[in-house]
Structure 1
């Protein structure tokens, strides 16, 4: 009997040692169908047909696995850590700690973390884009292109009467590590800030970023406001986003193209903004000024949650001048069905049009059926 108790105690020791470590994650994937239509001039410049074949593929929607834990240090102080990575069931993910990963301290003062952290702007996307999917037409990929996960240090305050705040900093040598021992390039230090409010189901968020010498040695900034209601089975959110000198006009065009124009193609000489928008070739590398809005509404009825979203990007500006054909529109509709608290069936359809309906445009229609399991 004593031997059995000793064996049982020894077997339990590793479990006790790891009691503060949590394994968690999501597996989510399904079948996506998509088709691309190009404007006549866009197709000609790319050497492609105006209407593509219909693509059908098994796609991963962002599966991930993570480990997190904490240790009580006394005096209401905890050491906290997390390591999280993408684990696509469609293959291809190799990098460890590819998602938010950090170490830090948490207490009555709030929490301080260092590592690969979501920016405050990226964190606000949880209330902007609730969709799953790989194709950019099935989630708000254009609106969220300014989201980042950066090597940085971040402070998050405690909640006071519904309010909380965050500040975040990326040093120049993390923003541009290839230049860390020479400092020949202009510094690209990046600063983020966030302010959140929640009360009786209502919420509001501000998130912003400032980057030195972001484009053409001009300082860039991005700002996002999100507000809405999430209670009594109803979810409604509206968001507005403004960015100036955060990206080039070519970057904006690449995002709207939804993969039709890639960074590799641009490196090989493709002029993204001229191909997608029809704007002058010399504007492609110029810093852009953009304004966008997005809205989502959902209502939970039993196990089913139908949902609809709309996003619109207004005409971009370069040097203060509005550019014709640089806007975008997007609509997503769908529903989730909860089999349990952890397993959900997904169905959605999306439409995204970059530029205007004319000789220059990239239009994507896509749909998916999938499954998500959380653990």
Structure 2
């Protein structure tokens, strides 16, 4: 018999009282409202695209798994202190960059205040473009949707050293403002370069199944020589009711490739899904225009189709296929003795994912 099971009942009752007394004497901070949550996602992936030199690779991948801790404290008079620490990890045993780096709090993490005035947060925060992604509902390995979709989220990011304000809802309307900086000025070969900043604003609407958002974001000093900025303007609209979800996105972006050449591109996307019992088939089509500042045919067209199966409230099985068609042949190069050598080329890529997601 295991140790402790043959102790007298009186002793066991006394131990329970001691434990109850110890819990009652814990400080209020130890009894704060803390929630542990997360999502474990993995599956089989078969990919043939520019990242794999247009050669098919197949294996087990993590699909942006994460664990988080969040909580709040009532400060009185309708004011709350809020906080969140979220960490990405890979269940396939590999490591990477960004949310797969293995460092703590590598996903959105913050401390802030919430009240009738709205919400103010400081920390490592999602920017306003990341808050405007209605048409991207895909799960992808390494980054959500990255291997399947989309054509337009190049600038979306979680920004260090950031502050963000979200207003309360006014009849369904709300707005937010964002600012982040790297806090360091750079000396580039004797030339002083100001610290880079990211700032933006977003206006949104959500009521009666209708959703809409307009976001504008700037990343300063994208081009060191000319002191130019990357700029993105995105509009989205969606509708969700009676198991149907549809959404559309339009974006205009100006950015600097390699910090030198200005590129201007428009991107568009359409997404839809419909839930039938435990199944949710879904599809997305997107296209990216060629550079409007040059003759470069660097645009593309992309589609993704898939189905989710809700095995339970927490567990989802999924299968999905995505394909991208470039407007011109893409070259894959690597440095050999300081010279760029073409190691692969192609004009079409595809990805197949089959996996499972469990939320807790």
Q: TM-score range by the shorter chain?
A: 0.7 to 0.9
Larger displacement relative to structure 2 (23-32 or 86-95): 86-95
1:270-281 to 2 correspondences below 5 Å:
none
CA contact (8 A) 2:269 2:284 kept: yes
**Structure 1 residue matching 2:192: 3-state secondary structure:** coil
1:117-196 to 2 correspondences below 5 Å:
117-125=125-133, 127-134=134-141, 138-151=147-160, 152-171=162-181, 173-174=182-183, 176=184, 184-196=192-204
CA contact (8 A) 1:131 1:138 kept: no
282, 301, 320: which one aligns with 1:348: 320
**Structure 1 residue matching 2:149: 3-state secondary structure:** coil
TM-score by length of 2: 0.82
347, 350, 355: which one aligns with 1:370: 355
Larger displacement relative to structure 2 (208-217 or 65-74): 208-217
TM-score by length of 1: 0.79
Give the corresponding residue for 1:336: 308
- 1:28 and 2:41 equivalent? yes
Displacement of 1:142 = 3.5
Between the aligned partners of 1:358 and 1:62, the Cα distance in structure 2 is 27
The structure whose residues are more often strand, as a share, is 2
Between the aligned partners of 2:74 and 2:50, the Cα distance in structure 1 is 57
Between the aligned partners of 1:198 and 1:141, the Cα distance in structure 2 is 23
Between the aligned partners of 1:214 and 1:364, the Cα distance in structure 2 is 29
Relative distance call for 1:8 and 1:192 in structure 2 (3 A) is: same
Relative distance call for 1:72 and 1:57 in structure 2 (3 A) is: same
**Structure 1 residue matching 2:16: 3-state secondary structure:** helix
Between the aligned partners of 1:73 and 1:37, the Cα distance in structure 2 is 52
Give the corresponding residue for 1:55: 57
RMSD: 2.6
In structure 1, stretches of 5+ residues that fail to align are 39-45, 251-283
1, 19, 38: which one aligns with 1:7: 19
Relative distance call for 1:5 and 1:37 in structure 2 (3 A) is: closer
182, 198, 212: which one aligns with 1:204: 212
Give the corresponding residue for 1:111: 119
Q: What CA deviation, in whole Å up to 9, does each residue of 1:193-252 have, x standing for no partner?
A: 0111012101100111023322241133111101010121000000001111x332x5xx
CA contact (8 A) 1:80 1:104 kept: yes
CA contact (8 A) 2:149 2:303 kept: no
**Structure 2 residue matching 1:317: 3-state secondary structure:** coil
1:208-287 to 2 correspondences below 5 Å:
208-215=216-223, 216-244=226-254, 246-248=255-257, 285-287=260-262
Between the aligned partners of 2:305 and 2:286, the Cα distance in structure 1 is 12
**Structure 2 residue matching 1:10: 3-state secondary structure:** helix
Displacement of 1:117 = 0.2
Q: What CA deviation, in whole Å up to 9, does each residue of 1:150-200 have, x standing for no partner?
A: 1210100001100010001113x43x4656xx9921342221101110121
Q: Which has the higher contact order (CA 8 A, sep 6+)?
A: 1
CA contact (8 A) 2:232 2:252 kept: yes
Bigger Rg, which one:
2
CA contact (8 A) 2:32 2:72 kept: no
**Structure 1 residue matching 2:248: 3-state secondary structure:** strand
The structure whose residues are more often helix, as a share, is 1
Displacement of 1:361 = 4.4
